[in-house]
Amino acid sequence: MNKAVSRKIIRYSVCLLIVVLLVFFLPRCMPGDPVQCLVGEDVYVTQEILDTLTIKLGLDKPLYEQFGIYIRGLLTGDLGYSYTRHQTVADLIWSRVPWTLLLTGVAMIIGYAFGILAGTWSGWMSETKRSKVLTAFGVVVSCIPPYLLGLIFFSVFVYQLGWFPYKGFYETPDLFSVAYHMALPILTLALFVFVRNLIIMRGSVLTEKNQLYPQFAKSLGIPRNKIIYGHVLKNAILPIVTHFAIDFGFILSGALFIEIIFSLNGLGRVMYTAILNLDYPVLSGLFLVIAIMVICANLAADILYGIIDPRVKRGEEE
Amino acid sequence: MKFDRRYILPLLLIAVLLIAAVFPGVFAPYEAAERDATYQAPSAEHLLGTDNMGKDIFSLLIYGARWTLIIGFSSGILAIIMGTAIGLLAGWRKGIPDEFLMGTTDIVLILPKIPLVIILAAYLGPSPWVLILVLGLLSWESIARVVRSKVIQIRSSNYILAARCLGFSDAKIMVREILPIVFPVIVPKFVLVTAAAMISEASLAFLGLSDPMMVSWGGMISDAFTYSGFLRGMWYWWLPPALCIILGVLAITSLAFIHERGVREVVQL
């Protein structure tokens, strides 16, 4: 275990702690009866349930004991119970997570692959007209919030052209039907990922271009494509990995919005109905799960970075 | 310094938005709360038709500029003040303060912002001030980073050493000597944070997490989405506010792009 990695792990743990504390304290610090905030506002439950819940969560006990009960619950996978949906939050979230991960995963693979390749090309050929057009397109698209991108695609391809289905309900897990329903949302999210990486990669290649090694490779007579994709790309890819930390959170949030637009059965839909019903247990659980997903992704990126760039392993950060 | 002609178009756009935000009453044909027959198609009376409440869409579009800009710029200003202060302190005082501040920066960086704003807005109630506070308090980390690296870069230069030898206080050196050098680095960041806040505001309003009394572009799109504006094919309901958001964000970000001369910085959005 080296110093850089252990420092990262401490930071991630603190981050997780902050998220847990936030989820714990928000309902308990709100004015009024905390039990109402833990149940949700727009739901009617009998006094009896409220009383049993008060005892179960220890709301009549001091805060530190409540926290103990809460943490014990979390460790056993108990995220609370949604009285609006009559379902435990954990069940609700776990049944939807695979769909969101499918959307995010596929879109990220497409977006990253094409974004990196196109960005490298665009950075190397930055003087050509085609590259300038591509960059301008990237900048414009990157200024569109993902849900608007989804709305525009929805209105054009679903409403006007009728190429894709209106609703994303796929009850039968048939591969073709899933692909048919997921194609447009994946494309939308992939485009969002694509332009971000295109822009990062382009900038990174532009700085690499001025180094001496590509010129040296050129003078050795190495074919252009091999220089660009074999040597320059490898060096220029580091910022992509660094930015993964910020980007993953954004891509995931973008995925949630896109799911709302296309009525997909993922976490986004859960979040939307939870917001409309002020279903606090679900919102808290979602926030916690999303935060854990983001932290895991960051940890993965750090490990990957150590493999790609050996300087990090030796602790020569910055 | 020669004025770059590429600034004209974005600045013009921002000027138009600002004028609309400050004097909406002059340009809007109707009051924001005025109601007529619902779901009207565009006509001479209602340039973009009316929405589900019978409000004139064109007037709402003009009134919507105000909150979008207020939220964007206020969060930008808040973030810039925090980011600069933290970056200056971290860069100037090495060691434990630096470690601590950069650790905090890392933590703020990882926190998933949109879900966090959603949960806060859900608990605290939809209010523009909550939005400004949260967006501002969560966007300073990239500013703190650039400021810190710039400060580290210049802290050992001779003129700073001279100032220290002359016995100026740390605070005075930071404000008089370092801040002017750091300033050009902050401006494009400010612009990007503002644009990002506008995007976040539009996204939250779409989820219905904005004050219903507050006219905003995101809220208009949300209404069109919830009250069957799509099924009715009322593109003139949701497309204009969408274009306003995109153009507004584009105008503001392109200022940073032109300034930076490289497009890499947009990543921070």
Best mean pLDDT range from A12-26, B50-64, B91-105, B113-127 = A12-26
Contact residues, chain B, for A283 at CB < 8 Å? 118-119, 122
Q: Which of B110, B202, B206 sits opposite A15 (nearest CB)?
A: B110
Q: What are the φ and ψ backbone dihedral angles of B166, each rounded to 5 degrees?
A: -75, -5
Interface contact A298-B110, CB threshold 8 A: yes
B243 touches chain A (CB under 8 A): no
Mean of pLDDT values over B115-128: 81
| pLDDT reported for residue B268 | 35
Give me the residues of B, 182-241, that contact A with CB < 8 A.
195, 199, 202-203, 206-209, 221, 225, 230, 233, 235, 238
Residue A190 banded pLDDT, cuts 50, 70, 90 = very high
Query: What is the rounded average pLDDT for all residues in chain A?
Result: 80
Residue A31 has pLDDT above 70, yes or no: no
- In tens, the pLDDT along A240-257 reads 887 787 788 888 888 988
| pLDDT reported for residue B264 | 43
Global pTM value: 0.81
Q: What are the DSSP calls for B161-217, one per residue?
A: HHHHHTT--HHHHIIIIIHHHHHHHHHHHHHHHHHHHHHHHHHHHHTT-S-TTS--H
A7 vs A34: which has the higher pLDDT: A7
Interface contact B266-A139, CB threshold 8 A: yes
Mean of pLDDT values over B116-127: 81
Mean of pLDDT values over A260-283: 83
| pLDDT reported for residue A42 | 63
B123 touches chain A (CB under 8 A): yes
Q: What percent of chain A has pLDDT over 70?
A: 87
- In tens, the pLDDT along B226-258 reads 777 777 777 777 888 888 888 888 888 887 777
Interface contact A245-B238, CB threshold 8 A: no
Distance between B103 CA and the closest CA of chain A, angstroms = 7
DSSP 3-state of A170: coil
| pLDDT reported for residue B269 | 32
Q: Among residues A108, A106, A107, A85, which one has the least CA distance to residue A95? A: A85
ipTM for this model = 0.80
Residue B133 banded pLDDT, cuts 50, 70, 90 = confident
Mean of pLDDT values over A221-232: 83
Interface contact B253-A200, CB threshold 8 A: no
Residue A160 has pLDDT above 50, yes or no: yes
Interface contact A290-B195, CB threshold 8 A: no
Helices (H) and strands (E) in chain B, counts: 12, 0
Contact residues, chain B, for A19 at CB < 8 Å? 111
- In tens, the pLDDT along B34-90 reads 677 666 667 766 677 777 676 777 777 888 888 888 888 899 999 999 989 888 888
Q: Among residues B156, B146, B185, B138, which one has the least CA distance to residue B94? A: B156
Best mean pLDDT range from A100-114, A167-181, B171-185 = A100-114
Distance between B49 CA and the closest CA of chain A, angstroms = 19
Best to test chain B binding among A23, A148, A251 (most B CBs inside 10 Å): A148
Distance between A144 CA and the closest CA of chain B, angstroms = 5
Best mean pLDDT range from A21-25, A185-189, A220-224 = A185-189
The distance between the two most distant Cα atoms of chain B, rounded to a whole number of Å, is: 75
Residue A43 banded pLDDT, cuts 50, 70, 90 = low
Residue B266 banded pLDDT, cuts 50, 70, 90 = very low
User: Could you count the other beta carbons within 10 Å of the beta carbon of residue B179?
Assistant: 15
| pLDDT reported for residue A113 | 92
B81 touches chain A (CB under 8 A): no
Using CA atoms, how far residue B253 sits from A56, B4, B189, B210, B248, in Å, is: 51, 16, 10, 24, 9
B260 → chain A, closest CA residue: A203
